[in-house]
Amino acid sequence: MANSNYEHGTSNIEIGQRFPLTIKRLGINGEGIGYYKHTVVFVQGALPDEVVVAEVVATAPHFITAKIHKIRQQSPARVTPRDEQYGDVGGIELEHLAYPEQLKFKADVIQQALEKFKPQGYKNYDIRPTIGMADPYEYRNKAQFQVRQINGHVAAGLYRKNSHDLVDLPTFSTQRPAIMSTMRYLVNLIEQLAIPVYDETAKSGIIKTIAIRESITTGHLQVTLITNTPKLPKKHALLTAIAADLPEVTSVMQNINPGETSLIWGEETRRLAGDTYLTETINGYTFKLSARAFFQLNPKQTEKLYQLAEQALNLSQHETLIDAYCGVGTLGISLAHTASEVRGMDTIPEAIADAKENAELNQVTNVHYEVGKAEELLPQWLREGFEPDALIVDPPRTGLDNQLRQTILDSRPEKFVYISCNPSTLARDLVSLVKDYRVDYIQSIDMFPQTARVEAVVKFSKRQLYR
Protein backbone atom coordinates (compact mmCIF):
# COMPACT_ATOMS: atom_id res chain seq x y z
CA MET A 1 0.00 0.00 0.00
CA ALA A 2 2.91 2.36 0.69
CA ASN A 3 3.80 2.44 -3.00
CA SER A 4 0.26 3.27 -4.05
CA ASN A 5 0.34 6.29 -1.73
CA TYR A 6 3.37 7.59 -3.61
CA GLU A 7 1.83 6.82 -6.98
CA HIS A 8 -1.61 8.23 -6.28
CA GLY A 9 -0.95 10.53 -3.31
CA THR A 10 -1.28 13.74 -5.33
CA SER A 11 -4.33 12.75 -7.41
CA ASN A 12 -6.82 14.26 -4.93
CA ILE A 13 -4.72 17.32 -4.12
CA GLU A 14 -5.57 20.57 -5.89
CA ILE A 15 -3.62 23.76 -6.58
CA GLY A 16 -4.56 26.33 -3.95
CA GLN A 17 -5.32 23.68 -1.32
CA ARG A 18 -3.94 24.43 2.15
CA PHE A 19 -2.88 22.09 4.95
CA PRO A 20 -0.66 22.17 8.06
CA LEU A 21 2.80 20.72 7.53
CA THR A 22 5.79 19.98 9.78
CA ILE A 23 9.11 20.61 8.01
CA LYS A 24 11.56 17.75 8.55
CA ARG A 25 14.69 18.96 6.72
CA LEU A 26 16.06 21.08 3.89
CA GLY A 27 16.42 19.67 0.38
CA ILE A 28 19.43 20.12 -1.88
CA ASN A 29 18.09 23.43 -3.25
CA GLY A 30 17.44 24.85 0.22
CA GLU A 31 13.70 24.20 0.17
CA GLY A 32 11.83 22.86 3.21
CA ILE A 33 10.67 19.24 2.99
CA GLY A 34 7.65 17.76 4.74
CA TYR A 35 5.20 14.91 4.13
CA TYR A 36 1.46 15.11 3.50
CA LYS A 37 -0.48 11.84 3.07
CA HIS A 38 2.82 9.99 2.52
CA THR A 39 3.75 12.38 -0.30
CA VAL A 40 6.83 14.61 -0.21
CA VAL A 41 6.10 18.35 -0.16
CA PHE A 42 8.70 20.97 -1.14
CA VAL A 43 8.13 24.39 0.45
CA GLN A 44 10.42 27.24 -0.58
CA GLY A 45 11.46 29.35 2.41
CA ALA A 46 10.37 26.87 5.11
CA LEU A 47 12.90 25.67 7.71
CA PRO A 48 13.35 22.40 9.65
CA ASP A 49 11.13 22.03 12.76
CA GLU A 50 8.75 24.73 11.56
CA VAL A 51 5.02 24.08 11.40
CA VAL A 52 3.53 25.93 8.45
CA VAL A 53 0.25 26.15 6.60
CA ALA A 54 1.34 25.11 3.11
CA GLU A 55 -0.50 26.24 -0.01
CA VAL A 56 -0.15 23.99 -3.06
CA VAL A 57 1.24 25.72 -6.16
CA ALA A 58 1.96 22.63 -8.33
CA THR A 59 1.55 18.87 -8.24
CA ALA A 60 3.45 16.01 -9.87
CA PRO A 61 2.93 12.24 -9.63
CA HIS A 62 5.42 11.83 -6.77
CA PHE A 63 5.63 15.23 -5.06
CA ILE A 64 3.90 18.51 -4.30
CA THR A 65 5.33 22.03 -4.54
CA ALA A 66 3.90 24.52 -2.09
CA LYS A 67 4.46 27.98 -0.66
CA ILE A 68 4.12 29.22 2.90
CA HIS A 69 0.65 30.60 3.60
CA LYS A 70 1.38 31.05 7.30
CA ILE A 71 4.03 30.03 9.83
CA ARG A 72 2.43 28.56 12.95
CA GLN A 73 5.64 27.56 14.71
CA GLN A 74 8.83 29.38 13.74
CA SER A 75 12.38 27.99 13.78
CA PRO A 76 14.82 29.74 16.14
CA ALA A 77 17.26 29.70 13.18
CA ARG A 78 14.98 31.96 11.08
CA VAL A 79 16.37 35.47 10.50
CA THR A 80 15.10 38.50 8.60
CA PRO A 81 16.59 38.64 5.06
CA ARG A 82 18.55 41.79 4.21
CA ASP A 83 17.26 41.98 0.65
CA GLU A 84 13.81 43.28 -0.24
CA GLN A 85 13.92 41.02 -3.31
CA TYR A 86 14.40 37.85 -1.22
CA GLY A 87 12.02 35.20 -2.57
CA ASP A 88 11.80 36.84 -6.00
CA VAL A 89 15.27 36.10 -7.42
CA GLY A 90 17.92 33.42 -7.06
CA GLY A 91 21.31 33.85 -5.42
CA ILE A 92 19.94 34.57 -1.92
CA GLU A 93 17.63 31.59 -1.35
CA LEU A 94 19.02 30.85 2.15
CA GLU A 95 19.05 34.43 3.39
CA HIS A 96 16.29 33.60 5.89
CA LEU A 97 18.51 31.00 7.63
CA ALA A 98 21.08 31.99 10.30
CA TYR A 99 24.60 31.62 8.89
CA PRO A 100 25.87 28.90 11.29
CA GLU A 101 22.87 26.80 10.24
CA GLN A 102 23.62 27.45 6.56
CA LEU A 103 27.06 25.90 7.11
CA LYS A 104 25.54 22.82 8.79
CA PHE A 105 23.07 22.49 5.92
CA LYS A 106 25.88 22.51 3.35
CA ALA A 107 27.61 19.55 5.01
CA ASP A 108 24.21 17.82 5.16
CA VAL A 109 23.66 18.35 1.41
CA ILE A 110 26.82 16.30 0.76
CA GLN A 111 25.51 13.59 3.10
CA GLN A 112 22.14 13.58 1.27
CA ALA A 113 23.88 13.14 -2.09
CA LEU A 114 25.96 10.25 -0.75
CA GLU A 115 22.83 8.57 0.65
CA LYS A 116 21.20 8.82 -2.76
CA PHE A 117 24.08 7.34 -4.81
CA LYS A 118 25.56 5.11 -2.06
CA PRO A 119 29.22 4.87 -3.13
CA GLN A 120 31.08 2.08 -1.34
CA GLY A 121 31.79 2.90 2.32
CA TYR A 122 29.91 6.22 2.24
CA LYS A 123 28.53 5.80 5.78
CA ASN A 124 32.07 6.01 7.15
CA TYR A 125 33.34 8.99 5.14
CA ASP A 126 34.96 11.80 7.12
CA ILE A 127 32.70 14.73 6.18
CA ARG A 128 34.24 17.78 7.81
CA PRO A 129 32.35 20.88 8.98
CA THR A 130 31.92 23.52 6.28
CA ILE A 131 34.44 26.38 6.33
CA GLY A 132 32.50 29.63 6.29
CA MET A 133 33.23 33.36 6.07
CA ALA A 134 33.60 35.88 8.89
CA ASP A 135 31.28 38.20 6.92
CA PRO A 136 29.06 36.22 4.53
CA TYR A 137 27.94 39.26 2.50
CA GLU A 138 29.39 41.54 -0.22
CA TYR A 139 31.64 38.78 -1.54
CA ARG A 140 30.66 38.43 -5.21
CA ASN A 141 33.27 40.08 -7.43
CA LYS A 142 31.13 39.92 -10.58
CA ALA A 143 27.57 40.82 -11.56
CA GLN A 144 25.77 39.99 -14.81
CA PHE A 145 22.49 41.90 -14.78
CA GLN A 146 19.93 41.86 -17.55
CA VAL A 147 18.89 45.31 -18.79
CA ARG A 148 15.27 46.03 -19.76
CA GLN A 149 12.67 48.78 -19.53
CA ILE A 150 10.17 48.67 -16.66
CA ASN A 151 7.40 51.29 -16.64
CA GLY A 152 9.34 53.49 -19.06
CA HIS A 153 12.58 53.41 -17.06
CA VAL A 154 15.81 51.47 -17.63
CA ALA A 155 16.22 48.69 -15.07
CA ALA A 156 19.00 46.17 -14.38
CA GLY A 157 18.71 43.03 -12.34
CA LEU A 158 17.83 39.34 -12.41
CA TYR A 159 14.82 37.46 -13.68
CA ARG A 160 12.09 36.47 -11.27
CA LYS A 161 12.31 32.73 -10.60
CA ASN A 162 10.99 30.56 -13.44
CA SER A 163 10.14 33.58 -15.59
CA HIS A 164 11.51 36.30 -17.84
CA ASP A 165 10.10 39.09 -15.67
CA LEU A 166 12.98 41.34 -14.67
CA VAL A 167 13.38 42.32 -11.02
CA ASP A 168 15.24 45.64 -10.74
CA LEU A 169 18.04 45.40 -8.16
CA PRO A 170 19.17 48.79 -6.82
CA THR A 171 20.95 46.86 -4.03
CA PHE A 172 21.98 43.22 -3.62
CA SER A 173 23.65 42.19 -0.38
CA THR A 174 25.99 39.51 -1.73
CA GLN A 175 27.50 41.78 -4.42
CA ARG A 176 30.48 44.05 -3.85
CA PRO A 177 29.21 47.61 -3.10
CA ALA A 178 31.38 49.21 -5.83
CA ILE A 179 29.82 46.90 -8.41
CA MET A 180 26.30 47.86 -7.36
CA SER A 181 26.96 51.61 -7.31
CA THR A 182 28.59 51.38 -10.76
CA MET A 183 25.63 49.36 -12.06
CA ARG A 184 23.17 52.04 -10.89
CA TYR A 185 25.29 54.81 -12.42
CA LEU A 186 25.29 53.01 -15.77
CA VAL A 187 21.53 52.36 -15.64
CA ASN A 188 20.89 56.08 -15.08
CA LEU A 189 23.41 57.08 -17.76
CA ILE A 190 21.84 54.74 -20.36
CA GLU A 191 18.44 56.26 -19.57
CA GLN A 192 19.77 59.86 -19.79
CA LEU A 193 21.45 59.18 -23.14
CA ALA A 194 18.35 57.31 -24.39
CA ILE A 195 20.42 54.34 -25.61
CA PRO A 196 17.89 51.68 -26.67
CA VAL A 197 17.81 48.64 -24.36
CA TYR A 198 16.78 45.18 -25.51
CA ASP A 199 13.10 44.33 -25.79
CA GLU A 200 12.52 40.56 -25.70
CA THR A 201 9.04 40.77 -27.20
CA ALA A 202 10.02 42.96 -30.16
CA LYS A 203 13.49 41.35 -30.34
CA SER A 204 14.95 44.82 -30.86
CA GLY A 205 17.08 47.31 -28.96
CA ILE A 206 20.79 47.42 -28.20
CA ILE A 207 21.95 46.80 -24.61
CA LYS A 208 21.00 43.35 -23.28
CA THR A 209 23.22 42.85 -20.24
CA ILE A 210 25.75 44.74 -18.13
CA ALA A 211 28.59 42.66 -16.68
CA ILE A 212 30.88 44.22 -14.08
CA ARG A 213 33.88 42.56 -12.45
CA GLU A 214 35.92 44.03 -9.59
CA SER A 215 39.49 43.27 -8.63
CA ILE A 216 39.59 42.98 -4.84
CA THR A 217 43.35 43.58 -4.98
CA THR A 218 43.39 46.80 -7.00
CA GLY A 219 39.83 48.10 -6.59
CA HIS A 220 39.62 48.45 -10.38
CA LEU A 221 36.46 47.58 -12.28
CA GLN A 222 35.84 46.16 -15.74
CA VAL A 223 32.53 47.01 -17.40
CA THR A 224 31.26 44.93 -20.32
CA LEU A 225 28.18 46.02 -22.26
CA ILE A 226 26.63 42.96 -23.93
CA THR A 227 24.74 44.18 -26.97
CA ASN A 228 22.33 42.85 -29.55
CA THR A 229 24.22 44.51 -32.44
CA PRO A 230 27.78 45.73 -33.08
CA LYS A 231 26.33 49.24 -33.23
CA LEU A 232 26.38 51.17 -29.93
CA PRO A 233 24.64 54.58 -30.19
CA LYS A 234 26.00 57.48 -28.07
CA LYS A 235 29.19 55.51 -27.50
CA HIS A 236 31.40 58.60 -27.25
CA ALA A 237 29.11 60.31 -24.72
CA LEU A 238 28.87 57.08 -22.70
CA LEU A 239 32.65 56.59 -22.53
CA THR A 240 33.29 60.28 -21.79
CA ALA A 241 30.90 60.17 -18.81
CA ILE A 242 32.41 56.93 -17.46
CA ALA A 243 35.96 58.37 -17.72
CA ALA A 244 34.91 61.56 -15.91
CA ASP A 245 32.79 60.05 -13.14
CA LEU A 246 34.14 56.52 -12.61
CA PRO A 247 37.96 56.61 -12.40
CA GLU A 248 37.95 53.12 -10.85
CA VAL A 249 36.62 51.71 -14.16
CA THR A 250 39.87 50.89 -15.98
CA SER A 251 38.40 48.67 -18.70
CA VAL A 252 35.27 49.10 -20.84
CA MET A 253 34.43 46.29 -23.25
CA GLN A 254 31.60 45.44 -25.64
CA ASN A 255 30.48 41.86 -26.22
CA ILE A 256 28.19 41.25 -29.20
CA ASN A 257 25.48 38.63 -28.71
CA PRO A 258 22.86 39.02 -31.46
CA GLY A 259 19.34 37.65 -31.50
CA GLU A 260 17.29 35.54 -29.15
CA THR A 261 19.50 33.18 -27.13
CA SER A 262 19.69 31.71 -23.65
CA LEU A 263 23.45 32.44 -23.58
CA ILE A 264 24.53 35.70 -21.95
CA TRP A 265 27.80 36.08 -23.89
CA GLY A 266 28.44 36.19 -27.62
CA GLU A 267 31.61 35.15 -29.42
CA GLU A 268 33.00 38.62 -30.25
CA THR A 269 34.40 41.01 -27.61
CA ARG A 270 35.75 44.49 -28.42
CA ARG A 271 37.70 46.97 -26.33
CA LEU A 272 35.97 50.33 -26.03
CA ALA A 273 38.30 52.03 -23.54
CA GLY A 274 41.15 51.28 -21.14
CA ASP A 275 42.73 47.85 -20.62
CA THR A 276 41.41 44.57 -22.01
CA TYR A 277 41.75 42.85 -18.63
CA LEU A 278 41.77 43.23 -14.84
CA THR A 279 44.42 41.78 -12.56
CA GLU A 280 43.61 39.86 -9.38
CA THR A 281 46.01 38.39 -6.81
CA ILE A 282 45.40 35.03 -5.13
CA ASN A 283 47.87 33.71 -2.53
CA GLY A 284 50.61 35.97 -3.89
CA TYR A 285 50.06 35.11 -7.57
CA THR A 286 48.70 37.71 -10.00
CA PHE A 287 46.27 36.77 -12.78
CA LYS A 288 45.04 38.66 -15.84
CA LEU A 289 41.29 38.30 -16.29
CA SER A 290 39.76 39.06 -19.67
CA ALA A 291 36.05 39.88 -19.89
CA ARG A 292 34.93 36.29 -20.60
CA ALA A 293 37.53 34.52 -18.45
CA PHE A 294 36.14 32.21 -15.76
CA PHE A 295 37.29 33.17 -12.28
CA GLN A 296 35.94 32.20 -8.88
CA LEU A 297 33.30 34.70 -7.70
CA ASN A 298 34.54 34.79 -4.09
CA PRO A 299 38.26 35.68 -4.03
CA LYS A 300 38.64 35.48 -0.21
CA GLN A 301 37.32 31.93 -0.09
CA THR A 302 39.23 31.02 -3.26
CA GLU A 303 42.48 31.63 -1.37
CA LYS A 304 41.30 29.17 1.30
CA LEU A 305 40.11 26.69 -1.35
CA TYR A 306 43.51 26.62 -3.04
CA GLN A 307 45.24 26.20 0.33
CA LEU A 308 42.95 23.23 1.05
CA ALA A 309 43.83 21.74 -2.35
CA GLU A 310 47.55 22.15 -1.66
CA GLN A 311 47.23 20.47 1.75
CA ALA A 312 45.20 17.59 0.29
CA LEU A 313 47.71 16.94 -2.53
CA ASN A 314 50.72 17.22 -0.20
CA LEU A 315 53.11 17.13 -3.16
CA SER A 316 56.86 16.60 -3.03
CA GLN A 317 59.25 18.65 -5.17
CA HIS A 318 59.99 15.68 -7.44
CA GLU A 319 56.31 14.90 -8.19
CA THR A 320 54.34 15.83 -11.31
CA LEU A 321 50.76 17.10 -11.31
CA ILE A 322 47.96 17.19 -13.89
CA ASP A 323 45.47 20.05 -13.52
CA ALA A 324 42.39 18.94 -15.46
CA TYR A 325 39.84 21.67 -16.32
CA CYS A 326 42.64 24.20 -15.76
CA GLY A 327 40.83 27.31 -17.02
CA VAL A 328 43.13 30.36 -16.97
CA GLY A 329 45.67 28.49 -14.83
CA THR A 330 44.87 29.96 -11.41
CA LEU A 331 44.94 26.66 -9.51
CA GLY A 332 47.85 25.01 -11.32
CA ILE A 333 50.05 28.11 -11.12
CA SER A 334 49.25 28.43 -7.40
CA LEU A 335 50.39 24.80 -6.88
CA ALA A 336 53.42 24.84 -9.19
CA HIS A 337 55.89 25.70 -6.41
CA THR A 338 55.05 22.36 -4.72
CA ALA A 339 55.75 20.14 -7.79
CA SER A 340 58.42 19.44 -10.38
CA GLU A 341 55.99 19.98 -13.27
CA VAL A 342 52.31 20.88 -13.71
CA ARG A 343 50.42 20.08 -16.90
CA GLY A 344 46.97 21.55 -17.53
CA MET A 345 44.34 21.28 -20.21
CA ASP A 346 41.12 23.04 -21.13
CA THR A 347 38.82 22.90 -24.13
CA ILE A 348 38.62 26.71 -24.48
CA PRO A 349 41.57 28.10 -26.52
CA GLU A 350 41.27 31.60 -24.95
CA ALA A 351 41.57 30.06 -21.47
CA ILE A 352 44.78 28.24 -22.41
CA ALA A 353 46.18 31.44 -23.95
CA ASP A 354 45.39 33.24 -20.67
CA ALA A 355 46.94 30.39 -18.65
CA LYS A 356 50.20 30.65 -20.60
CA GLU A 357 50.22 34.43 -20.17
CA ASN A 358 49.51 34.11 -16.44
CA ALA A 359 52.37 31.64 -16.02
CA GLU A 360 54.69 34.12 -17.73
CA LEU A 361 53.35 36.99 -15.64
CA ASN A 362 54.19 35.09 -12.44
CA GLN A 363 57.51 33.78 -13.79
CA VAL A 364 56.35 30.21 -13.25
CA THR A 365 58.33 28.07 -15.69
CA ASN A 366 57.41 24.49 -14.67
CA VAL A 367 53.88 24.55 -16.14
CA HIS A 368 52.69 23.31 -19.52
CA TYR A 369 49.25 24.04 -20.98
CA GLU A 370 47.44 22.54 -23.96
CA VAL A 371 44.02 22.93 -25.58
CA GLY A 372 42.01 19.71 -25.46
CA LYS A 373 39.88 17.36 -23.41
CA ALA A 374 41.43 15.76 -20.34
CA GLU A 375 40.10 12.34 -21.37
CA GLU A 376 42.00 12.65 -24.70
CA LEU A 377 45.19 14.46 -23.63
CA LEU A 378 45.87 12.38 -20.51
CA PRO A 379 46.12 9.06 -22.45
CA GLN A 380 48.22 10.83 -25.10
CA TRP A 381 50.68 12.10 -22.47
CA LEU A 382 50.84 8.63 -20.91
CA ARG A 383 51.70 7.12 -24.32
CA GLU A 384 54.43 9.76 -24.69
CA GLY A 385 55.97 8.62 -21.41
CA PHE A 386 54.66 11.31 -19.03
CA GLU A 387 53.47 9.60 -15.86
CA PRO A 388 51.67 11.94 -13.45
CA ASP A 389 52.20 11.38 -9.74
CA ALA A 390 49.15 13.45 -8.87
CA LEU A 391 45.89 14.63 -10.43
CA ILE A 392 43.56 17.44 -9.45
CA VAL A 393 40.17 17.89 -11.10
CA ASP A 394 37.84 20.88 -10.77
CA PRO A 395 34.99 20.04 -13.18
CA PRO A 396 31.86 22.06 -13.97
CA ARG A 397 28.55 21.27 -12.24
CA THR A 398 28.01 18.33 -14.62
CA GLY A 399 30.90 16.50 -12.92
CA LEU A 400 33.48 14.28 -14.57
CA ASP A 401 33.08 13.10 -18.15
CA ASN A 402 32.48 9.31 -18.28
CA GLN A 403 35.57 8.79 -20.38
CA LEU A 404 37.71 10.86 -18.00
CA ARG A 405 36.49 8.80 -15.02
CA GLN A 406 37.63 5.67 -16.84
CA THR A 407 40.94 7.31 -17.80
CA ILE A 408 41.59 8.15 -14.14
CA LEU A 409 40.93 4.52 -13.15
CA ASP A 410 43.21 3.31 -15.96
CA SER A 411 46.12 5.66 -15.17
CA ARG A 412 45.71 5.48 -11.35
CA PRO A 413 47.88 8.43 -10.24
CA GLU A 414 49.20 7.99 -6.70
CA LYS A 415 47.62 11.22 -5.42
CA PHE A 416 44.19 12.44 -6.42
CA VAL A 417 42.09 15.44 -5.33
CA TYR A 418 38.61 16.34 -6.61
CA ILE A 419 37.20 19.87 -6.18
CA SER A 420 33.43 19.67 -6.55
CA CYS A 421 30.82 22.41 -6.97
CA ASN A 422 27.90 19.96 -7.12
CA PRO A 423 27.42 17.28 -4.41
CA SER A 424 25.07 15.24 -6.63
CA THR A 425 27.52 14.75 -9.50
CA LEU A 426 30.34 14.24 -6.98
CA ALA A 427 28.43 11.41 -5.29
CA ARG A 428 27.65 9.89 -8.71
CA ASP A 429 31.33 10.03 -9.70
CA LEU A 430 32.42 8.47 -6.40
CA VAL A 431 30.48 5.27 -7.19
CA SER A 432 33.12 4.30 -9.78
CA LEU A 433 36.13 6.17 -8.35
CA VAL A 434 36.07 4.37 -4.98
CA LYS A 435 36.73 1.06 -6.71
CA ASP A 436 40.37 2.17 -6.96
CA TYR A 437 40.50 5.00 -4.40
CA ARG A 438 39.59 5.43 -0.74
CA VAL A 439 37.96 8.70 0.34
CA ASP A 440 40.20 10.11 3.09
CA TYR A 441 37.94 13.07 3.76
CA ILE A 442 35.49 15.54 2.23
CA GLN A 443 36.11 19.15 3.28
CA SER A 444 33.30 21.51 2.31
CA ILE A 445 33.86 25.25 1.96
CA ASP A 446 31.22 27.93 1.55
CA MET A 447 32.00 29.82 -1.63
CA PHE A 448 28.44 31.17 -1.98
CA PRO A 449 26.92 32.28 1.36
CA GLN A 450 23.14 32.86 1.35
CA THR A 451 22.73 30.22 -1.40
CA ALA A 452 22.23 26.45 -1.34
CA ARG A 453 25.45 25.85 -3.30
CA VAL A 454 28.50 24.27 -1.70
CA GLU A 455 32.05 23.51 -2.84
CA ALA A 456 34.01 20.53 -1.51
CA VAL A 457 37.59 19.25 -1.62
CA VAL A 458 37.86 15.45 -1.68
CA LYS A 459 41.17 13.80 -0.79
CA PHE A 460 41.69 10.27 -2.09
CA SER A 461 44.22 7.54 -1.32
CA LYS A 462 44.98 4.89 -3.92
CA ARG A 463 43.88 1.38 -2.97
CA GLN A 464 46.44 -1.41 -3.29
CA LEU A 465 45.17 -3.80 -5.96
CA TYR A 466 45.85 -7.50 -5.52
CA ARG A 467 45.47 -9.30 -8.79
> Closest by alpha carbon to 343, among 322, 364, 372?
322
What does R_g of the chain's alpha carbons equal in angstroms? 24
Of 229, 237, 226, 165, give the one whose Cα is nearest residue 200.
165
- H or E element: which one contains 277? strand 277-282
CA distance 34 to 47: 10
Nearest CA to 72 out of 53, 99, 93, 45 is that of 53
Q: What is the pLDDT along the chain (467 residues), one digit of tens a residue?
A: 333 333 445 678 899 999 999 999 999 999 999 999 999 999 999 999 999 999 999 999 999 999 999 999 999 999 999 999 999 999 999 999 999 999 999 999 999 999 999 999 999 999 999 999 999 999 999 999 999 999 999 999 999 988 889 999 999 999 999 999 999 999 999 999 999 999 999 999 999 999 999 999 999 999 999 999 999 999 999 999 999 999 999 999 999 999 888 899 999 999 999 999 999 999 999 999 999 888 899 999 999 999 999 999 999 999 999 999 999 999 999 999 999 999 999 998 988 999 999 999 999 999 999 999 998 999 999 999 998 999 999 999 999 999 999 999 989 999 999 999 999 999 999 999 999 999 999 999 999 999 999 999 999 999 976 54
The reply to whether 421 belongs to the active site is: yes
Q: Answer positive or negative: Cα dihedral of 259, 264, 267, 270.
A: positive
Q: How far is CA 340 from CA 38, 227, 282, 336, 392, in A?
A: 58, 45, 21, 7, 15
CA dihedral 71, 76, 82, 88 (to 10 degrees): -40
Q: Which of 94, 187, 421, 458 is catalytic?
A: 421
Measured in whole angstroms, how far is the alpha carbon of residue 206 from the centre of its chain?
28
pTM value? 0.92
Whole-Å CA distances, 325 to 22, 59, 382, 409, 438? 43, 39, 18, 17, 23
Give me the pLDDT at residue 1, please. Answer: 33
Q: Which amino acid is at 388?
A: P
Query: For residue 6, what pLDDT is reported?
Result: 38
Partners of 443 in beta bridges: 128, 457
